[in-house]
A and B are shown apart, each in its own frame.
Chain A
């Protein structure tokens, strides 16, 4: 059971543009305009825009819920109650959004005039842009490209570059160190991440999320044969989204607020939110690649999209748990960890995948 988003929105747009607005325009004797609005190209573009807005809003809502889950669960881990505003503390994020909306925008005098305002736009925009490849179910997706996996990883890899830009442009020692640490971190986690994805691609033979999920539905969840790859991917993706224990770029005990020290108000709030947007993308990558995507029991009663989001929340528990359990590690330690521990593990995992595939077990 799933919602066919494209057909639904396409039908709605067709009804609105042809049967409502077209009729009104015909009644006003504007036949040319009515024909143009009813033409297939215009309808197609409008459908894309509306579907895009729906995907964006759904992604942002899930990200906001992840912030709530993070705060509430971290509170429980630390023996606190967590957020309290509204029922179950659900309104805290909206109160925060209202607060940052009325905050002043301060540009430091020493900052770079061109790049300082540009960096947050890049970071936030690219984090939101990652929702484009994530399918929630067979019908609820923005794009169904054969290179979805590689596109997601590509956009994920551009963000640290924007972080380095922002850290450099702020002209502050803390932000500079934070940006450089983000670059160091990219050097560390990128290769194990790509190698563990390569093992998934070897088994499934596709980079399309639909095919990967269908493969897992027919065979088994890939976390079972590729358990080592799953662990490597989990560690790398936590480093990718800059969460504790890998939050060196914004280590608040040493670097004030890291590379975002000089960003205040709305920019700070949205950068904070975009980190959770990336956490959402990371968790959904884990769900899609290793945990069977949107398939679950009781498929006749519970929609596929609900299963997907529930799995994302469950995977996010691992992220919060890591935050609560581990202390922050140093820059040289993350480089050592990724190059001397995760890289051999990822290589072993790739050999296992090739072995399974060659033996014809999958």
Chain B
């Protein structure tokens, strides 16, 4: 049963991942190769590139990233809860999850508002 459903998906994903490999191999048969030193240079609008690009990048949205890590988990819980919504006999199981979600929302908005400058 499980194999019946997921074997096509597994085979299809292998086919899909093979498509770019085959396309690049076909490209190898048709394209020219005339490598020069200038072609291998990193593109920087015609200027000679200055310094490395793989630096310790300063990403300025870390506050959002932290809230995202928490909220993504909530979203997964909510999806599971939503899938079983019909099966809940009692009202309380519906209310508890919504109350939990509302608490998380309040927390997220407090966090977003509390930071004076959220964009560092």
Residues of A whose CB lies within 8 Å of any CB of B are 45, 48-49, 51-53, 55-56, 100-110, 120-121, 124-126, 128-129, 131-133, 142-146, 150-151, 168, 170-176, 180, 183-184, 187-188, 190-191, 194-195, 197-199, 201-202, 205-207, 256, 261-262, 265-267, 270, 331-332, 335, 339-340, 343-344, 347, 350-351, 354, 357-358
Given A121-B21, A176-B53, A351-B98, CB of A343 within 8 Å of CB of B79: no
Given A184-B61, A188-B64, CB of A262 within 8 Å of CB of B8: no
Q: In the complex the two chains form, what is the Cα distance from A41 to B16 in whole Å?
A: 22
Q: In the complex the two chains form, what is the Cα distance from A199 to B81 in whole Å?
A: 11
Among B12, B57, B59, B119, contact of A143 (Cβ-Cβ < 8 Å): B12
Residues of B whose CB lies within 8 Å of any CB of A are 5-9, 11-13, 15-21, 23-24, 26-28, 30-35, 39-45, 49, 52-55, 57, 59-61, 64-65, 67-68, 71-72, 75-76, 78-79, 82-83, 85-86, 94, 98, 101-102, 105, 108-109, 112, 119
Q: Write the chain A residue with the least CB distance to B51.
A: A173
Q: Which residues of B contact A124 (CB under 8 A)?
A: 19-20, 23
A186 → B minimal CB distance (Å): 8
Q: Write the chain B residue with the least CB distance to A347.
A: B105
Among A51, A106, A188, A199, contact of B8 (Cβ-Cβ < 8 Å): A51
Q: Which residues of A contact B82 (CB under 8 A)?
A: 198-199, 201-202
Q: Which residues of B contact A343 (CB under 8 A)?
A: 105, 108
Give the interface centre of A107, A170, A261, A335 by most chain B CB atoms within 10 Å. A335
A-B contact pairs, 13 of them (CB 8 A): A49-B15, A56-B15, A56-B16, A128-B19, A171-B52, A171-B54, A172-B44, A194-B76, A195-B75, A205-B83, A256-B45, A266-B24, A357-B85
Q: Which residues of A contact B98 (CB under 8 A)?
A: 351, 354
A196 → B minimal CB distance (Å): 10
Given A124-B19, A129-B16, A173-B44, CB of A350 within 8 Å of CB of B28: no
Q: Is the CB of B86 within 8 A of A205?
A: yes
Q: Is the CB of B54 within 8 A of A168?
A: yes
Q: Is the CB of A145 within 8 A of B9?
A: yes
Q: In the complex the two chains form, what is the Cα distance from A354 to B97 in whole Å?
A: 11
B15 → A minimal CB distance (Å): 5
A222 → B minimal CB distance (Å): 13
Q: Write the chain B residue with the least CB distance to A257.
A: B43
Q: Which residues of B contact A49 (CB under 8 A)?
A: 11, 15
Q: Is the CB of B27 within 8 A of A265?
A: yes
Q: Write the chain A residue with the least CB distance to B76.
A: A194
Q: Which residues of B contact A262 (CB under 8 A)?
A: 42-43
Among B5, B17, B68, B119, contact of A125 (Cβ-Cβ < 8 Å): B17
